[in-house]
Structure 1
Amino acid sequence: MTDVVITGMGATTPLGGDLASTWDGLVAGRSGVVALTDEWAAPLAVRIAGTLAQEPSEKIDRVKARRLDRSAQVALIAAEEAWHDAGLGLGEDNPIDPDRLAVCLGSGIGGLHALLDNWDNYRDRGPRRVSPFTIPMLMANAPAANVALLVGAAAAVHAPVSACASSNEAISLAVDQIRLGRADVVVAGGAEATIHALPLAAFGQMQALSKRNDDPTAASRPWDKGRDGFVLSEGSAVLVLESLEHAKARGAKIYGTVAGAGVSNDNHDIVQPDPTGLGQSSAMLKALRESGLSASDIKHVNAHGTSTPQGDVTEAVSIRQALGDAVDDCVVTSTKSMTGHLLGAAGALESVTTMLALHHRIVPPTINLEDPEDDLGIDIAANAARELPGSGELAALNNSFGFGGSNVAVALTTANATGR
């Protein structure tokens, strides 16, 4: 089976405008959740969110930005960082054959700002005030398509939409494209930008969001008895994936390997996870089988861990089911305790974070875990970063679960890693 390796990574998140600052914030246990002080937020029951640490306007030309929804803006920022991190140039300096280059970049909701802002223009000022760029801004594949234009991808452009599992599904699809011989290089990941009154009100009406308006940094608290919902966040994370043969041929530095992925569906409810955890554990077991890994190889799980009452307990059950007795030697964390929930971009950010955890042999903490649920049966890196074993190859799983019952687990290892 073709080895698929990671040669570049990039991100823009509530913790930092690039991957380095995001990682530093995660290891330090810093929250990126803030109070929303905009006038539009005042009537809302939920007035906190994980807003970007650095505005896209600081990196994207104003004229260009006007033709892009915020979701595409963040995708371009993360993709360009990942591309350069992989040692690749753009335009005439791009050495990759366009017909062997693809993009797989998911979004759970897509161009929400473009849609709602232009509806406001139509309602308040008439049809002639609707931007002619509305459709190419709001379409769900806009982030993927704009990244493809950036890097010159001609092999294929895919935009999986499976709610909060979208970007891990994009990574899974990217691995398939390389193993099937359809591409040598795939830019994979996700982007989301939905911090707006409507989704905050809608998720709030579902009782899905934390209402800790008076204490934003403590609002996301996976597995804590005091958790009351997730925190809506925005951002993007992108990986450059290559066949090992291609990466070696161009002398690329390698972080590690995407060893495989597992995909399943709960077939239980449109929003609630199956409380048995069987769909989730199925995805993890499939990832292990595809990767040729055993449960005892897994030393770390970056959990979906959204800080919802039912979801966190179900995931603890599913991790135990998948790993069995080996769960005792595995460190689990939820970085959503610091970043909040990036919806369709969450999986990509957490796959990047998982790869960095293996690379640096340190697991970022789950912060705000003051009063853990009883009998979880998993070893959580509570409130402080945890070191991983100091020698030998390491492997980990990253879980993403989405509305509709979508489950994706990605298996990552330090196999094939070179110095960085």
Structure 2
Amino acid sequence: MATSASRVVAGKELGVISEASSPLKQYNGLRPLLGSKQMASCAVRKPNGSFPSVPSLKSLRIRAVASPTVAAPKREKDPKKRIVVTGIGLVSVFGSDIDTFYNKLLEGQSGISLIDRFDASSYSVRFGGQIRDFSSKGYIDGKNDRRLDDCWRYCLVAGKRALDDANLGPEVLQSMDRSRIGVLVGSGMGGLTAFSNGVEALIQKGYKKITPFFIPYSITNTGSALLAIETGLMGPNYSISTACATANYCFYAAANHIRRGEADIMVVGGTEAAILPTGVGGFIACRALSQRNDEPQKASRPWDKDRDGFVMGEGSGVLIMESLEHARKRGAAIIAEYLGGAITCDAHHMTDPRSDGLGVSSCIVKSLEDAGVSPEEVNYVNAHATSTLAGDLAEVNAIKKVFKDTSEMKMNGTKSMIGHCLGAAGGLEAIATIKAITTGWLHPTINQNNLEPDVTIDTVPNVKKKHEVNVAISNSFGFGGHNSVVVFAPFMP
């Protein structure tokens, strides 16, 4: 039976909560707003669809009131609609091997270093999770490799490695109905190098000097398109771009394609390569990045009092999601099960999260409902946890709203070691979540030296912990107020 925690946002009635009840400071964008006045509240639609009469649309804070009755959660049993993970592939700051990636995380090793891809000496931020020594050998032919933006190179390698991991190599795919296999790999920024080079050519040399690859290699759907062209996959194919929530949105959408019977298999995840002058400069302008240039490996510090912004990362994380029925028919090895997910919007601010966490808490509740899981079953959260001043506490506040008893829960931040990989973040963190499920070990959140007092959940500080995961959620949130939560668990036949 779901507790009152599971009913917090599931209820249909909405009421007003005072500012005094929120433990969070107020923030202007991603920086603290000192001496600010109490936030006013916003109008909420009544159950009958009308709006209450209020002085201002921004004069009320809201919370959801418990519903009087909540049905016990029911997990999906139809093998056509149950979705399992049968392959994983990645490109990361720790390389492209899954076990190496997770072992580095378990060791608490930071992948953050000074940027040397371009001259960043004049930038106020000069470090990030830059990928070095990347090789696409065996996955992309030389001619295409030279033309492609890194964003798409990472996507192709991660996607093909995931297919290989699922025993869906070229020879196997040739014998399958590839119209039933789709690709959905999103990106928050797209081919930023291709875009920047095209604009530079236009300004310096004129439009006649723009490469014909400028548009095709800039747009965000290119990763999915190229992966399909390379493998002959003819099922649903597109991209989603919801900033740093992108990969989780893709998992959610891909699962729905399978559940609706539109595909048997989806190749799905996120990819990003934005550590270049345009990307770094743009996020500096947003005042979103840590400026700890003297200690780059200590810069990403989720929930720590001394955090000062996130650290940029890059890479790609891809899962092979498949209906249980189809996986069984082809004798696939099943790694874990995707139980469900949800997406919501804060409808609040372009970069600043709601301090009361309502958009996030409602997303968590909806994800559990979709998964057929009660809050008591969840004992691990792979948190979004970017190291921004407002975001970290808003997320914790939301988690506490849904999970009243967090004494047995563990929560960690993968970004503390690999940085914030933007549109690829959810993909890489889903892989970390799945590896936690399959290994029974949680990687630490490093740089936990001075924890915020409001963070009362075990963040696995600095040293890995043994933990048998029952049900896990992985959170991803993006600029624009995009919230996404996906739910994974060990596969139980």
TM-score (structure 1 length as normaliser): 0.95
Percent identity, aligned pairs only? 38
Question: What SS class does the counterpart of residue 147 from structure 1 fall into?
Answer: helix
- Partner in structure 1 of residue 297 of structure 2: 217
Matched, 1:35 2:114: yes
Q: Does the 8 A contact of 1:15 with 1:31 survive in 2?
A: no
Matched, 1:190 2:254: no
- Partner in structure 1 of residue 97 of structure 2: 18
User: Which residue, out of 383, 403, 409, partners 2:462?
Assistant: 383
Q: Does the 8 A contact of 1:17 with 1:53 survive in 2?
A: no
User: Which residue, out of 339, 360, 364, partners 1:280?
Assistant: 360
Matched, 1:257 2:337: yes
Question: What SS class does the counterpart of residue 183 from structure 1 fall into?
Answer: coil
- Partner in structure 1 of residue 126 of structure 2: 47
> After the TM superposition, which residues 153-192 of structure 1 pair with which residues of structure 2 at under 5 Å, given as runs?
153-192=233-272
- Partner in structure 2 of residue 234 of structure 1: 314
Which runs of 5 or more structure 1 residues have no equivalent in the other structure? none
Q: Does the 8 A contact of 2:95 with 2:134 survive in 1?
A: no
In 2, the alpha carbon distance for the partners of 1:125 and 1:374 equals: 56
Indicate the structure (1 or 2) with the bigger Cα radius of gyration. Answer: 2
Deviation for aligned residue 1:91 = 5.5
Deviation for aligned residue 1:344 = 0.5
In 2, the alpha carbon distance for the partners of 1:95 and 1:371 equals: 56
In 2, the alpha carbon distance for the partners of 1:97 and 1:285 equals: 36
Question: What SS class does the counterpart of residue 264 from structure 1 fall into?
Answer: strand
Runs of 4+ in 1 over 6 A off after TM superposition: none
> After the TM superposition, which residues 56-205 of structure 1 pair with which residues of structure 2 at under 5 Å, given as runs?
56=135, 60-90=140-170, 94-205=174-285
Question: What SS class does the counterpart of residue 217 from structure 2 fall into?
Answer: helix
CA-to-partner distance for each residue in 1:321-343, whole Å, 9 max, x for gaps? Answer: 12122x22110000000010000
Question: What SS class does the counterpart of residue 170 from structure 1 fall into?
Answer: helix
Question: What SS class does the counterpart of residue 326 from structure 2 fall into?
Answer: helix
Q: Does the 8 A contact of 2:187 with 2:239 survive in 1?
A: yes
Matched, 1:365 2:444: yes
* Greater fraction helix: 1
- Partner in structure 2 of residue 341 of structure 1: 420
The root-mean-square deviation of aligned C-alpha atoms, in Å, is 1.5
Deviation for aligned residue 1:10 = 0.6
Q: Does the 8 A contact of 1:70 with 1:193 survive in 2?
A: yes
Question: What SS class does the counterpart of residue 403 from structure 2 fall into?
Answer: helix
Matched, 1:398 2:474: yes
In 2, the alpha carbon distance for the partners of 1:92 and 1:352 equals: 24
The one-letter code matched in structure 1 to 2:460 is A
Question: What SS class does the counterpart of residue 84 from structure 2 fall into?
Answer: strand
The one-letter code matched in structure 2 to 1:311 is G
The one-letter code matched in structure 1 to 2:411 is V
- Partner in structure 1 of residue 348 of structure 2: 268
In 1, the alpha carbon distance for the partners of 2:295 and 2:247 equals: 29
The one-letter code matched in structure 2 to 1:181 is G
In 1, the alpha carbon distance for the partners of 2:389 and 2:199 equals: 35
TM-score (structure 2 length as normaliser): 0.81
CA-to-partner distance for each residue in 1:122-154, whole Å, 9 max, x for gaps? Answer: 333443432111111001100111111233221
Deviation for aligned residue 1:366 = 0.3
- Partner in structure 2 of residue 329 of structure 1: 408
Question: What SS class does the counterpart of residue 454 from structure 2 fall into?
Answer: coil
Which runs of 5 or more structure 2 residues have no equivalent in the other structure? 1-75
Q: Given the superposition, is the C-alpha separation of residues 121 and 157 from structure 1 closer, same or farther in structure 2, using an over 3 Å criterion?
A: same
Matched, 1:411 2:487: yes
